[in-house]
Amino acid sequence: MAMKLNKELPLPARLKEEYPLSEKLIRIKKERDREIKAVFTGESDRFIVLVGPCSADNENAVCEYVNRLAQINDKVSDKLLLIPRIYTNKPRTTGEGYKGMLHQPEPDKAPDLLAGIVAIRKMHIRAISESGLTAADEMLYPENRSYLDDLLSYEAVGARSVENQQHRLTASGMDIPVGMKNPTSGDFSVMLNSVIAAQHSHTFIYRGCDVTTDGNELAHVILRGGVDKYGTCIPNYHYEDMMRLLAMYQQLELKNPAAIIDANHSNSNKQFKEQIRIVSEVLHSRRHNADLKTLVKGVMIESYLEEGCQPIEADRIYGKSITDPCLGWYDTVSLIYHIAEKC
């Protein structure tokens, strides 16, 4: 057999017993979930800003970032709802490279999945405890979300995963908003098909059990740009792209039509400073068209304490991305205040 068993991992219920949420954190999570869901159902007109590092590589740096974000959140909470990105597992196009804290709690050491699931749970708990902000993560491995499902208030299904049936069916069993990204090809139909699947009930195998889901009426789309057959990035944040999405949504019987615009990835061609301009254009499009203002519920921004990115080396700069380049903190603060003013 070409697969070697390294060790058995604890069941999610066991890990939750070892690292439980306090009653205070349970109340915080419940209230945050209510606030975020209200945006997607249209009960609240606050604008969502999903913001944070490309990958959560260092607990202290991530928690410092989230604590700073909480101070900004207090100042803009009448207009915005800030959701920190704490992304603990990273998709790799070729399978090579850093796959996130879940795999490698120490980025320059060998993978340790047991230490990883403990590390990501402890980091999420610490972030909520210190900041009062529940976070977003990417559902890269559907079975693994059970280790964090009592902590997260938002999840995203990435461009490489959105066509996968297990991701779609698992999303249908979530009780929080889940964003389905367009695939790397940029195909809107594939993306919307994933939303249709996520909003319906399904019966399937999950973690060795026969399960039936209710369907997730808060499933929606994330536009992150695409890549054509020549490898050229094709952005999809422009006014015409959003109008096309709106027209396609109107032809479907979906609950709570909504879109988040990812300002990085193929929308910026990973030119991280372009996120500032892209967000400004999205806000302008919303102001120009009332239907788009209703449809576009927020933006996603990659940002960290220090701007840019760096290789994984022994003398790494604290708070600087080791995966995709990010906006630095001062640009992030300025952009958040700009969003609050213009949304």
pLDDT digits (tens, 9 = 90+) for 149-204: 999 999 999 999 999 999 999 999 999 999 999 999 999 999 999 999 999 999 99
Q: Number of structural domains, the chain?
A: 1
pLDDT digits (tens, 9 = 90+) for 16-38: 999 999 999 999 999 999 999 99
pLDDT higher than 90, residue 95:
no
Would you state the pLDDT for residue 122?
98
Average pLDDT, the chain: 96
Q: Summarize the confidence of residues 46-68 as an average pLDDT.
A: 98
Is 7 inside a domain boundary? no
Is 217 inside a domain boundary? yes
**Greatest mean pLDDT among 61-75, 86-100, 103-117:** 61-75
Rounded Cα–Cα distance for residues 240 and 20 (Å): 47
Is 11 inside a domain boundary? no
Residue 84's domain comprises: 21-342
Is 329 inside a domain boundary? yes
pLDDT higher than 80, residue 229:
yes
Would you state the pLDDT for residue 1?
64
Is 156 inside a domain boundary? yes
Is 150 inside a domain boundary? yes
Query: Which of 96-100, 122-126, 252-256 has the weakest average pLDDT?
Result: 96-100
Q: Are 319 and 52 in contact (CB under 8 A)?
A: no
Is 2 inside a domain boundary? no
Query: Which of 24-33, 89-98, 203-212, 263-272 has the weakest average pLDDT?
Result: 89-98
- Residue 90's pLDDT band, with cuts at 50, 70 and 90, is confident
Neighbour tally for 94: CB within 10 Å? 5
Domain CATH for 184: 3.20.20.70
What's the gap between Cα 157 and its chain centre? 8
SS3 letters across the chain: CCCCCCCCCCCHHHHHHHCCCCHHHHHHHHHHHHHHHHHHHCCCCCEEEEEECCCCCCHHHHHHHHHHHHHHHHHHCCCEEEEEECCCCCCCCCCCCCCCCCCCCCCCCCCCHHHHHHHHHHHHHHHHHHHCCCCEEECCCHHHHHHCCCCCCEEEECCCCCCCHHHHHHHCCCCCCEEEECCCCCCHHHHHHHHHHHHCCCEEEECCEEEECCCCCCEEEEECCEECCCCCEECCCCHHHHHHHHHHHHCCCCCCCCEEEECCHHHCCCCCCHHHHHHHHHHHHHHHCHHHHHHEEEEEEEECCEEEECCCCCCCCCCEECCCCEECHHHHHHHHHHHHHHC
Would you state the pLDDT for residue 37?
98
Is 121 inside a domain boundary? yes
pTM passes above 0.95: yes
Would you state the pLDDT for residue 196?
98
Would you state the pLDDT for residue 280?
98
17: phi > 0 → left, psi -120 to 50 → alpha, else beta; which?
alpha
Residue whose C-alpha is closest to residue 237's, from 261, 257, 220: 261
Q: Summarize the confidence of residues 259-282 as an average pLDDT.
A: 97
pLDDT digits (tens, 9 = 90+) for 322-342: 999 999 999 999 999 999 999
